[in-house]
Structure 1
Amino acid sequence: MDAGLLAQYAIITVAVIVSAWFVAKRQFPNAVRRLRVGLAIPLVREGRAAWVQKLGRRIAPPSTLADASCGGCNSCGPSAPRRH
């Protein structure tokens, strides 16, 4: 296979993965959060190497102690009524 064609396939693959991740985060925030938690928990357990635990902490979603319960875009709440 030609190196240029391989590079083109690699760039397209990266673009598709980034696009899919963006859409998933915007449309399904709770599912993405559960996925990130599910991937991070096994990595941060005691007895793992320090670099594995660090990777797990990077994968883990940010804490939502003071946020809304959905973990989404933080724009929940009553919206102003529309005026025609």
Structure 2
Amino acid sequence: MSVSIALQYVLVALAVAISAWAVLVKQFPGVARSLRGALALPLLRDGRPRWLRPLGRLLAPPAMTGGGGTCGGCDGCGPVKARNK
């Protein structure tokens, strides 16, 4: 196998992996959040090398906030639209 074909396979595999991740995040956000946490936790444990901790923080999902109206969720806490009478 020549180098150019191997590079092509690597680029196609990378494109497929990125596309699959985008679909996972869009369609199944809870699963994606759990997966990010599962990948980040082993990197953040005590006894790991210092260079792995920033990678773990980068992979970790953002902290969840409890309501407040700025979360972008669908709990109906935004402004109420006026009805036409």
Matched residue type, 1:76 = C
Larger C-alpha radius of gyration, 1 or 2?
2
Q: TM-score, normalised by structure 1?
A: 0.74
Q: Which of 74, 77, 80 does residue 76 from structure 1 map onto?
A: 74
The residue correspondences of 1:1-84 to structure 2 (distance < 5 A) are: 1-66=1-66, 74-78=72-76
- Per the TM alignment, residue 3 of structure 1 is displaced from its structure 2 partner at its CA by 2.0
8 Å Cα contact 1:43-1:56 kept in structure 2: yes
Distance 2:63 2:45 in 1: 18
Give the share of equivalent positions with the same residue, in percent.
Answer: 41
Distance 2:39 2:67 in 1: 22
- Per the TM alignment, residue 75 of structure 1 is displaced from its structure 2 partner at its CA by 4.4
The unaligned stretches of length 5 or more in structure 1 are none
- Per the TM alignment, residue 47 of structure 1 is displaced from its structure 2 partner at its CA by 2.1
**After TM superposition, where is structure 1 displaced by more than 6 Å over at least 4 residues in a row?**
none
Distance 2:46 2:59 in 1: 17
Q: Flag the structure with more relative contact order, 1 or 2, with Cα contacts below 8 A and sequence separation at least 6.
A: 1
Distance 1:48 1:15 in 2: 30
Alignment length (residue pairs): 75
The unaligned stretches of length 5 or more in structure 2 are none
